[in-house]
Structure 1
Amino acid sequence: MASDEDHDDGEEALGLRKIIHVDMDAFYASCEQRDDPSLRGQPVAVGGSSERGVVMAASYEARTFGVRSAMPSVQAARLCPNLIFRKARFDVYRGVSQQIRAIFQDYAQEVEPLALDEAYLDVTEDLKGIGSATRIAELIRARIKAETGGLTASAGVSYNKFLAKLASDHNKPDGLCVIRPGEGAQFVAALPVRRFHGVGPRGAEKMAKLGIETGADLAAKDIAFLRANFGSFADYLYRAARGIDLRRVKANRPRKSLGAERTFDRDLSSGPVLREALDNIIDIIWERIQRAEAKGRTVTLKLKHADFTSHTRAKSVPHPVADKREFAKLGHALLDEVLPLPQPVRLMGLTLSAMEGEKEPEDQAPDGQLSLL
């Protein structure tokens, strides 16, 4: 879309913000391809190649075969026999992330990093007097490419965080999308509900059974219907279907928890199988913990049984969890406490909370939740 210069005065009059969401393209894999020219144009996965390994990131060449992050490495190799695995180099990724954040700070006082490879920027104030949020996004993308040795970023520009994040994913890779005031509801209406943050495969399946497949279908349902079927998630869905998001961009946003859940294709009950499943979840979560540079003291295990009843167990230590080995030890200790299970489980989740700077851990859904139930 074109520049938004003509809309600046109207946006200010309406009290709307100018938000940019910047998301690096296949960040880990792109760093590997940048640093090893032989990998360019090849299907690359960052992660362990062992039988119990997990894909942390996949290049776009690998994605054409169906390879995705959080996928077991064995499955990824079956989908793409020529897949090249590389071990994660977090020191490199953190260094690039610092370069990118320095660029962000040149254009916005309010920068909210979500991970090493993405962030929200509030450019309403327009520090450099550029006059266009779209132009700022273009300049940021150009500088990232020039200053990081050719790495590309996609950006979404809009008047709230929800729409900016949707927009950044719309023209990937190396793309730019702008959603202007008055266009949000129309943009959301055409999207599949699975594109909404927090709506995983199970959630999309449940919605489809209720006749909800697009944003327009969701907007047609009243709040009473949504609350009856989706509980506390209803208010978010109601606003999202209308392109509404009142959250502000917050620099150094405190993270209360970080974790993930997996809904299994079949219910699990065997101790060895559950332990292996937990190891896969630990691989996924620890990568996120490292990426976010998070430190916490409480590990919580969540199990949902075949009859949809669920319970959690938590264990706290007096110091931040030191490394992946300690995190795994705490997670497995929690699982061992409940084995043998009274009935099979359909979902398992693990969360790290009581983050540094937080007085008390809060009970909430894990960040980066893999599915909406």
Structure 2
Amino acid sequence: MPSLCRDCFWMADATRPPPCPACGSRRLVAHPALFTLSVAHVDCDAFYASVEKRDRPDLATRPVIIGGGRRGVVSAACYVARTRGVRSAMPMFKALAACPDAVVIKPDMAKYVAAARQVRDLMESLTPLVQPLSIDEAVLDLSGTEALHRAPPAATLARFAREVERQVGITVSIGLAPNRLLSKLAAERDKPRGFAVLGQEEARDWLATQPVTLLPGVGPALARRLEASGFTRLGQLALLDPRDAAKRFGEDGPGLAARARGEDNRRIDPAREAKSISAETTFDTDLRDLPALEAPLWRLCEKLGRRLSEKGLAAAGVVLKLKTAQFQTRTRNVRLPRPTKLPETLFAAAQPLLAKEATGSAFRLIGIGAQPLAPGDQADLPDLADPDAARRTARWAAVEKLRARFGADAIGSGRGLLPGGKPRRD
């Protein structure tokens, strides 16, 4: 059976129990298809927290939570904090109750983006077929790269993991499999600093015993629907033929049954575009009044406009997100007559949606998103019916130029001010 040492990259065609005969490492991986599989899922381990621990070695053994304020939510948690029950998206007050000695650090997105870019550059040195899934994970296809790297994909990936540790100072977990679904499931099996291999045939037997919630996309609502129909294990779903699956679960049924068997024919597409871009903030205290809610909404529209410009995209529609004091989420959306990336236009579209919701309810969070997206070159084109469009575009460009030179607070709008004239930090 093919074997690989993840530290010195010794390879052999016969299974050998640890330690490695070349370097003494116990980090050996063995699998019948180890040197033939080429689809990999790469996931940075506890990414935000790992970057912070990299920069602060004194936190190496401490529980670390990335988030802001007792009324915020957990953006990320290190593995020490996770053993205490802390999870991403958990309200901060619950996280601190579970782990009162945690070190809480506000997110530093600029630092995380820089680290993610380093990891992405290393991925793209392996293969052009890299599809980012989020800031800290991606799926890669290394088919046909053996001649380039003079090694099978498994060995190339092991070297990549070592380079991430050396150059970026964080660790990754890797799943190697015949398709995207199985590579993701494999990556989750051996975290952190893991390297797991999952072949097609063994996947069927393993999946058969797993709960339906193991599949990505099967959330609580779908899980309850499946359970009501008598399906609690993936093996039960896997037995459905396409016609029966469609009859029971609609047009998504056949795909659901196929995934339960470990089948996935999705291509790895480096050109896959983001489906939406958004920005949101959690308030220190609940807000009820429309004027009080409009100030952070305006600041978020500015942030959203900036993100759209950075990515060369425009908003063809706007989505307003609100979360009540009881943690109930409300979303409202509207299509725009023309794509835009101007904060004024985004705000003008979102403000009526907000006005309809601000009728006395207390809100703890507000967000604004662009969905669907449009190419940036279609944004804010000259319009005879709107002679001020060009002037608004020029004004926003001038504001951003001043901020780039003198700082984000160099210039602002009265819409974004708190009572007393202080700028709101969103």
* Root mean square deviation of aligned Cα: 4.1
In structure 1, the residue matched to 2:125 is 106
Q: 2:372 aligns with which of 332, 344, 354?
A: 354
In structure 2, the residue matched to 1:135 is 155
Offset of residue 201 of structure 1:
2.5
Structure 1 pair 254–200 and aligned structure 2 pair: CA distance change class (3 A): same
Offset of residue 302 of structure 1:
8.3
In structure 1, the residue matched to 2:341 is 320
Structure 1 pair 327–184 and aligned structure 2 pair: CA distance change class (3 A): farther
SS class of match (2:112): helix
Offset of residue 8 of structure 1:
7.5
In structure 1, the residue matched to 2:106 is 87
Q: Which amino acid aligns with 2:154?
A: T
Pairing 1:144–2:164 present: yes
Offset of residue 121 of structure 1:
1.0
Identity %: 31
Counterpart-to-counterpart distance in 2, 1:204 and 1:328: 37
Offset of residue 32 of structure 1:
0.8
Is 2:35–2:153's contact at 8 Å kept on the other side of the alignment? no
Tell me how many residue pairs correspond in the alignment.
322
Structure 1 pair 326–115 and aligned structure 2 pair: CA distance change class (3 A): farther
Structure with larger Rg? 2
Structure 1 pair 333–137 and aligned structure 2 pair: CA distance change class (3 A): farther
SS class of match (1:183): helix
Is 1:48–1:86's contact at 8 Å kept on the other side of the alignment? yes
Deviations 1:109-145 (A, max 9, x none): 2111112211111100115344422222211111111
Of 130-139 and 59-68, more deviation after overlay is shown by 130-139
Deviations 1:84-129 (A, max 9, x none): 2111111111111121112112211211111221111110011534
1:252-331 correspondence runs (5 A): 252-257=271-276, 272=288, 296-297=314-315, 298-301=317-320, 313-316=333-336, 318-320=339-341
Counterpart-to-counterpart distance in 2, 1:153 and 1:352: 31
Deviations 1:7-42 (A, max 9, x none): 77996xxxxx72111000000011111111222222
Q: 1:18 aligns with which of 38, 41, 52?
A: 38
Counterpart-to-counterpart distance in 2, 1:197 and 1:334: 32
1:43-122 correspondence runs (5 A): 43-51=63-71, 53-122=72-141
Q: TM-score, normalised by structure 1?
A: 0.72
SS class of match (2:246): helix
Of 165-174 and 228-237, more deviation after overlay is shown by 228-237
Is 1:8–1:132's contact at 8 Å kept on the other side of the alignment? no
Q: Which amino acid aligns with 1:37?
A: P
The answer for unaligned runs of 5 or more in structure 1 is 12-16, 261-270, 304-309, 342-347, 361-373
Offset of residue 312 of structure 1:
5.4
In structure 1, the residue matched to 2:54 is 34
SS class of match (2:340): coil
Structure 1 pair 78–219 and aligned structure 2 pair: CA distance change class (3 A): same
In structure 1, the residue matched to 2:253 is 234
Offset of residue 5 of structure 1:
8.8
Counterpart-to-counterpart distance in 2, 1:216 and 1:328: 49
Counterpart-to-counterpart distance in 2, 1:247 and 1:205: 27
1:137-176 correspondence runs (5 A): 137-149=157-169, 151-176=170-195
Is 2:314–2:375's contact at 8 Å kept on the other side of the alignment? no
Counterpart-to-counterpart distance in 2, 1:143 and 1:38: 23
SS class of match (2:371): strand
Q: Which amino acid aligns with 1:82?
A: D
Q: 1:201 aligns with which of 197, 211, 220?
A: 220
Structure 1 pair 124–229 and aligned structure 2 pair: CA distance change class (3 A): same
Q: TM-score, normalised by structure 2?
A: 0.64
Considering Cα pairs closer than 8 Å and 6+ residues apart, tell me whether 1 or 2 has the greater RCO: 1
SS class of match (1:240): helix
Counterpart-to-counterpart distance in 1, 2:49 and 2:345: 27
Structure 1 pair 83–25 and aligned structure 2 pair: CA distance change class (3 A): same
Q: 2:199 aligns with which of 180, 187, 191?
A: 180
Q: Which amino acid aligns with 2:106?
A: K
Counterpart-to-counterpart distance in 1, 2:204 and 2:145: 26
Structure 1 pair 321–153 and aligned structure 2 pair: CA distance change class (3 A): farther
The answer for unaligned runs of 5 or more in structure 2 is 5-10, 14-31, 280-286, 323-329, 361-365, 379-426
SS class of match (2:97): helix
